[in-house]
Amino acid sequence: MPDQISVLFVCLGNICRSTMAEGVFQSMAKKQPYKDLVAKVDSCGTGGYHIGEEPDDRTMSTLEGHGITDYAHAARKFNASDLDKFDYIFAMDRANLADLQRAEQRRPGSKATVMLFGEYSGTGKAEVISDPYYGGRQGFETAYEQATRFSKNFLREVFPDVEPGA
């Protein structure tokens, strides 16, 4: 079993999907049995469109509607140094993943495992978290459901000897 891990979630603008995933994952990581196993959780975007902004109101209201009321974040852009600061870097979709992989190629030997978060879908097929920004409320609920499911599956795989709810 690994020591403490660090996780970074990445989407395009860092106000919808990656913040949803960060909020969900952070909520799980603050509780037992994961409390002492996750050192750092963050999110960012591959684009700098929203630097310094808070998450989208619909992201926040979705998290709050599911009992996550202590999440705060200011959007930031991905930096190549993140590849050495985090153990796992999860892309929300394949375009984000391609951007991260290009950065990874320019930084050989970096620490992070870079992959699509949806590899932990639990369905045997990788899923993407579609950008809900231009859609309605349901897109945010879908992103929440996926982030919750992927987070649980990831934590179960990385910490197989830890019993959730213990």
Per the CB < 8 A criterion, the answer to whether 90 and 123 are in contact is no
Q: Are strands 5-11 and 88-91 parallel, antiparallel or unpaired?
A: parallel
State yes or no: pLDDT of 98 exceeds 60.
yes
Q: Which position has the token pair 């990831």?
A: 154
Amino acid 165: pLDDT: 62
Verify whether residue 16 is a known catalytic residue.
no
H or E segment to which residue 82 belongs: helix 82-85
State yes or no: pLDDT of 3 exceeds 90.
no
| Other C-beta atoms lying within 10 Å of the C-beta of residue 123 | 10
Catalytic position from the list 42, 82, 93, 131:
131
Verify whether residue 131 is a known catalytic residue.
yes
Alpha-carbon distances, residue 99 vs 26, 54, 122 (angstroms): 24, 23, 25
The mean per-residue pLDDT over the stretch 139-163 comes to 96
Quick one: tokens of 62? 């979705």
Residue 136 and residue 13: Cα distance in Å, rounded? 17
Verify whether residue 11 is a known catalytic residue.
yes
Percent of the chain past pLDDT 90, that is, above it, reads 95
Residue 146 and residue 125: Cα distance in Å, rounded? 13
Catalytic position from the list 16, 17, 44, 82:
17
Task: Give 100-121 pLDDT, tens digit per residue.
Answer: 999 999 999 999 999 999 999 9
Quick one: tokens of 99? 């951007």
Task: Give 61-84 pLDDT, tens digit per residue.
Answer: 999 999 999 999 999 999 999 999
Write down the pTM of the prediction.
0.96
Catalytic position from the list 11, 58, 87, 93:
11
State yes or no: pLDDT of 166 exceeds 80.
no
